[in-house]
A and B are shown apart, each in its own frame.
Chain A
Amino acid sequence: MAESATLHDRLTEIWSDPPNIYGKLATIDHKKIGKRYIVTAIAFLLIAGLEAVLMRIQLIGPNVDFLSAEAYNQIMTMHGTTMIFWYAAPILSGFANYLVPMLIGARDMAFPRLNAFTYWTFLFSGVLLYISPLLGSAPRGGWFAYVPFTNDFYSPTIGMDFFAFSLMLLTVSTTAGAINLIATIFRLRAPGMSVDRMPLFLWSTSTTQFVIVFSLPALTAALVLLELDRLWGFHFYDSGAAGDPLLWLQLFWFFGHPWVYIIFLPATGMISMVLPVFCRRPIVGYTWVALATVLTGLVGFGVWVHHMFTTGLPQVSMGFFSGASMTISIFTTIQVFAWVATIWTGRPVLKAPMLFALGFIILIVIGGLSGVMTAVIPFDWQLHDTYFVVGHIHFVLIGANVFPVFAALYYWLPKMTGRIMNERLARWNFGLMFTGMLVGFFTMHITGFLGMPRRIFTYSAASGWTVANFITTVGAGIFVIGVLIGIFNFFYSRKYGLPAGNNPWNADTLEWSSTSPPPIYGVERIPTVASRHPLWDEHKEEDDPENRRVLDDGKQTLATTGVDAHDGFVARMPGETVVPLVTGLALFGLCLALLFKLLWLALGFAVATAIAIAYWMWPKDKELIA
């Protein structure tokens, strides 16, 4: 294998970053960026989890004097906001970053530098959000920040402005990432991987990215109008001057409901990858699952109004949107049936990823049911803004996001670190999380029936909510311990785990054909794909006797046609650079300057951003001119 060894050396040399601090800041390697994404998102999970613990301590009994009302509001807002925006979606972006190029046999993303930019702006937006509690005033309007409560009259503190600007920066990051993933999935798939052979994770990820591209502008619009009102005295949401607070709700939920699918769909895609491998058979109803995924994304745009059933809307439109909300659960049901059928007809192996996948299915069924319940309008009137809703969102979010994410971590970390996770710790991890869910968050539904409103910082003993709340806090504690054991396991196994080998699970998709961890250049030869399960069929992916898919003339990967993935073009890739980082910093500065109304400084940062982008786009050598 001397020839192969030199090929390995040559490719390594082409693709490596300088082994110093510059190399770390300048890297545009999707594997490193993906891992950073995952680690950063988990850090946000822990921070927001800590905030949750503070809230649960406050609510453990009646009239506890641990947090003030204002502190509770701020912590609750930070918890919800961080979880929804800086953990749930970014962690999926992290997996997508790491996995998508490997799943399609490409060597990097379509726009590697944009990818680095996406990560840096994600990080900086989180930093921006967390500057506000350091200044002693965090946002306080809940994660959906309804006006008029969040306008400059009722919330004059600067925290709300940090909320708005950090979210705008995050929007830039998320949109850039979406564009990048779409271009990657539709341009860089290995020859032969036509769309009907794509792993389901690619279906769910690409659907999600389209949803992002078309729904996030609503958030941007809502926030821009809010800041114009707050900082510059405009009147969009001001009913005293022909404005309308309901405009915020319209815009926010036009974005907000698709967002629920943004943090749910990729997770279902991961389950559709993990489950068949541990059932030792292809997924049942591939086409149905793929179709249901796309339709969920589409119909998800039609359900935003169901968040406003209590605001008084025309009867007909309420009927329409209630219908759309119920339709969407049909698509989820299709997926659930496909998973159950896969388990039923397969030979399930109960390894850690499988446990979490099963836990996910159970929780999503419960959460889905309570969701359909709130789509029934009279029911929603009754339980709107009670703990029933808090229970529902946690079942959906934890069930549909945290559990799949843990399944994915147990499944793919061996690829990333080269070590298998400890199975004993995994079982504790799962058992405690699942018990905690049932004890803590299921009880919240009952607390809701007992009439406890959400977002209250304390209650009196006479209310009769004491026992339920105590149980919830205990359950939350169990859940948190479970999560911490999982995180301990990741560190522990990274050091002491057994070597994973290329394909520890005997899985079917391309990422498992490389060594664990994969070499910096990804694949030695661009593979060809002959079926939905490249590693299970007899076709040899890397068979290339004439060295035609080596592509070692500089940083290169293969581009193919969008639908059928016919071999066609050489895609050149840029070298490492700190420009994305600089651009991200300039945007960060721009946000801060606008926030403090320092217009000249803002102009300076805008010019800096433009210069950085121009430098970025200017071809560094004749070869790169497209």
Chain B
Amino acid sequence: MSVVPGSMQDVYPPTTRPHERGRGIWGMWLFIGTEAMLFALLFFAYFYLMASRTQWPLEKDPSYSYALILLAILLTSSFVASWAERGIKEHGNLGRLNVGLGLTLLLGIAFLGVQYIEYQHKLKELLPTDHAYGSVFYTITSLHLAHVIVGMLMLTFVFARGLAGHFNKERHLAVKNAVLYWHFVDVVWIFIVSIIYLSPHFYGGN
């Protein structure tokens, strides 16, 4: 007696099957998972170092005006990126995709610019080699910066493929992945702003 496998479909498989597009998304989610863990652990380091201090940050609380501008830039860029993605996903609109990705990239460049200015100010009062607070501040923010750059490289890659006309309503996995990663970079910045820039002002720092 033979047992019938999971479903009839398995015994009498279809003559033609659609192409598989799920692997890439699995890969991207797991990649984001491991990266999120990395940031979580750096935040852990931040709190761990804080726990043995009566005063943290050690000197001045960080000013958050630039951080909020950066946040606004990133949030906007995330919306633009989704808009672009929906263009290809729902309407197969390659033009909208390209315009949207181009705009997202411009916002990314704006982020790099503002971050550069912020660092220039910040470095006058705090160096990473001053003490552990300086170290952890610059490590977390510059690691995020590195992620912004990686995200922008992904978007550039997808942008180039969009210009080459690769995508349509069915085939746009790369867009999905790059935009997903970009959202991740965005979310990390929300955490950084809350934990590093804003929270010291609430627990009565300096």
Contact = CB atoms under 8 A, between A and B. Distances in A.
A618 interface: yes
B157 A617 contact: yes
A175 interface: yes
A186 B5 contact: no
A224 B133 CA distance: 16
Interface in A143-196: 175, 178-180, 182-183, 186-187, 191-192, 194
Given A111-B27, A220-B38, A626-B24, A565 B18 contact: no
A50 B21 CA distance: 47
B81 to A, nearest CB: 18
A234 B135 contact: yes
A221 B171 contact: no
Interface size bracket, B side: 35 or more
A234 B129 contact: yes
Interface in A227-271: 228-229, 232-236, 238, 241-244, 246-247, 250-251, 254
B38 A217 contact: yes
A247 B10 contact: no
Contacts of A243: 49, 131-132, 135
A604 interface: no
B6 A110 contact: no
Contacts of A379: none
A546 B69 CA distance: 63
B26 interface: yes
Interface in B133-174: 133-136, 139, 153, 157, 161, 166-167, 171, 173-174
Interface residues of chain A: helix, strand, loop or mixed (majority): mixed
Contacts of B21: 569, 626
Interface string A555-590: 000110000111111111000000000000000000
B2 A537 contact: yes
A113 to B, nearest CB: 12
B204 interface: no
A357 interface: no
A614 interface: yes
A390 B38 CA distance: 31
A450 interface: no
A178 B30 CA distance: 9
Contacts of B128: 228, 232, 234
B23 A187 contact: yes
A247 B38 CA distance: 15
A175 B171 contact: no
Interface stretch (A10-18, A430-438, A498-506, A524-532): A524-532
Contacts of A559: 20, 22-23
Interface in B29-70: 30-31, 33-35, 37-38, 40-42, 44-45, 48-49, 52-53, 58
A484 B53 CA distance: 55
A610 interface: yes
A564 B33 CA distance: 24
A339 to B, nearest CB: 27
A147 to B, nearest CB: 13
B117 interface: no
A546 to B, nearest CB: 8
A530 B23 contact: no
A49 to B, nearest CB: 32
Contact of B27 (A183, A191, A549, A625): A183
A214 interface: yes
Contacts of A233: 129
B49 A242 contact: yes
Contact of B18 (A187, A225, A254, A570): A570
A347 interface: no
Contacts of A244: 48-49, 52, 132
A182 B45 contact: no
A625 B171 contact: yes
Contacts of A572: 19-20
B5 A539 contact: yes
Interface of A: 110-111, 114, 175, 178-180, 182-183, 186-187, 191-192, 194, 213-218, 220-221, 224-225, 228-229, 232-236, 238, 241-244, 246-247, 250-251, 254, 528-531, 537-540, 546, 548-549, 558-559, 564-572, 610, 614, 617-619, 625-626
Interface of B: 1-7, 9-15, 17-24, 26-27, 30-31, 33-35, 37-38, 40-42, 44-45, 48-49, 52-53, 58, 128-136, 139, 153, 157, 161, 166-167, 171, 173-174
Given A228-B139, A568-B18, 14 more contacts: A110-B27, A183-B23, A186-B26, A191-B9, A214-B37, A233-B129, A236-B136, A241-B130, A243-B135, A530-B2, A530-B3, A539-B3, A618-B161, A626-B171
24 contacts: A111-B23, A183-B23, A183-B30, A192-B6, A215-B37, A218-B41, A221-B41, A232-B129, A235-B129, A235-B132, A236-B45, A244-B48, A244-B52, A247-B45, A528-B11, A530-B4, A538-B1, A548-B12, A566-B7, A569-B19, A571-B20, A614-B153, A617-B157, A617-B174
Nearest first, the 6 A-B pairs at minimum CB distance are A192-B5, A569-B20, A559-B20, A217-B38, A191-B10, A234-B135
